[in-house]
Amino acid sequence: MKKGVLTIMAVLVMVALTTTSFAYGWGQGMRGGRGPGYGNCQSGDLQGLAALNLTADQEAKIKSLREAQLKDAKPLQDKMFSKRGELKLLWLQQNPNQEKIVAVQKEIRSLRDQLQDKQTNHRLAVLKVLTPEQQTKVQAFGAGRGSGNGRGFGPGAGPGGGCGGYGPGPRGN
């Protein structure tokens, strides 16, 4: 009975701690990379694209693409959040079950891959909205840098950063 009470207490403490720590959002992480959706993307989606001299139609299309991408990615992000919590609880068990841990890690990797695929599709869709001259400017900003320094291509990924934060950060994690 005493062991059961201690286990329940430990789980409650962990839930309380993880709930407050996750309330702060994605953040930079241990390796300096930023997670999906960092920056002020919801309110200032086109901030940083001023150098491209977008037309009102282009701005509307890019904003619509971004909103659709965020809506599409949300269920996967929520599921990944849940799986990360599940993984933490598995590691906190007195005798961690290797098979369960490995299985949850595989699920997390699969979710991350799905998110990256969605982000790639979004970037390509944004490129299609731009004129060839604008695409050249975007390439000059350093498009495709996401795997090296935590900043990916997307709205605001030019000088000064912004909403493009898709990269995993240094060392690919």
Distance in angstroms (rounded) separating the CA atoms of residues 137 and 139:
5
Residue 91 covered by a domain? yes
Q: Give the Cα separation of 61 and 52 in Å (integer).
A: 14
What's phi and psi for 156, nearest 5 deg?
85, 10
| Residue 172 is assigned to a structural domain of this protein | no
pTM of the model: 0.56
**Domain membership flag for residue 148:** no
**Both tokens of residue 153?**
């291509």
Within a domain: 72:
yes
> Domain of 64: which CATH number?
1.20.120.1490
Residue 150 covered by a domain: no
What's the burial of 38, exposed, middle or buried (CB within 10 Å: 0-12/13-18/19+)?
A: buried
- pLDDT by residue for the chain (173 residues), tens only, comes to 677 666 776 666 666 555 544 444 444 444 444 444 444 343 334 445 777 889 999 999 999 999 999 999 999 999 999 999 999 999 999 999 999 999 999 999 999 999 999 999 999 999 999 999 988 888 877 655 444 444 444 444 443 344 444 343 444 44
Tell me the two tokens of residue 99. Answer: 């098979």
Domain carrying residue 68: 53-140
CB 14 within 8 A of CB 22: no
Tell me, what's the pLDDT at 17? Answer: 57
pLDDT for res 142: 62
Q: Say how many C-beta atoms besides its own lie within 10 A of residue 154's C-beta.
A: 29
Residue 57 lies in a domain: yes
Kindly state whether residue 80 falls inside one of the protein's structural domains: yes
How many domains are contained in the chain? 1
| pLDDT value of position 69 | 95
How far apart, in whole angstroms, are the C-alpha atoms of residue 55 and residue 129? 10
Would you say residue 146 lies in a domain? no
pLDDT, position 140: 78
Residues 6+ positions from 39 with CB-CB distance below 8 Å: 156, 161, 162, 163, 164, 165
Which ranges constitute the DSSP H helices of the chain? Answer: 2-22, 56-92, 98-129, 132-141, 146-149
